[in-house]
Amino acid sequence: MGLIIEDEILKIAKMTEEELRQEIALLLFQRGKLTLAQAARLARMDRLRFQHLLASREVPVHYDQEGWEKDLKALEELNAS
C-alpha cells in the first residue's frame, strides 16, 4: 500500500519526506506497533542509526522475545531476497 501525502502538508509541517517517515516510524515503535527492525526500515535507516535517533529523542528501546523473533524473521527474509 502506498500513502500519498501532499507536498503542501510537508510545507505546512516544515518537514521533509525523510523527516516525516522518521516521525511515523518513531511513533509506531513507541506504541509497540512495529519492531525495531520494522521501524528502522520504515524510516529508511539501518538499525543502528535508528537506535541513535531513538536515543536522541530519549525513546527507550523495548525489546522482548516476540520482537526479537520478528526481527530475526525479517532479517532472514531480507537475506533470502
- The residue among 80 and 46 whose pLDDT is bigger is 46
Q: What are the pLDDT digits (tens) for 4-34?
A: 889 999 999 999 999 999 999 999 999 989 9
Locate the domains of the chain by residue range.
Answer: 13-80
Q: Which pLDDT value is given to residue 5?
A: 87
Distance CA 24, CA 3 (A): 12
Q: What are the pLDDT digits (tens) for 38-66?
A: 999 999 999 889 999 999 988 877 766 77
Helix (H) or strand (E) holding 48: helix 47-56
How far, in whole angstroms, is CA 71 from its chain's centroid?
12
Q: Which pLDDT value is given to residue 78?
A: 82
Distance CA 38, CA 74 (A): 8
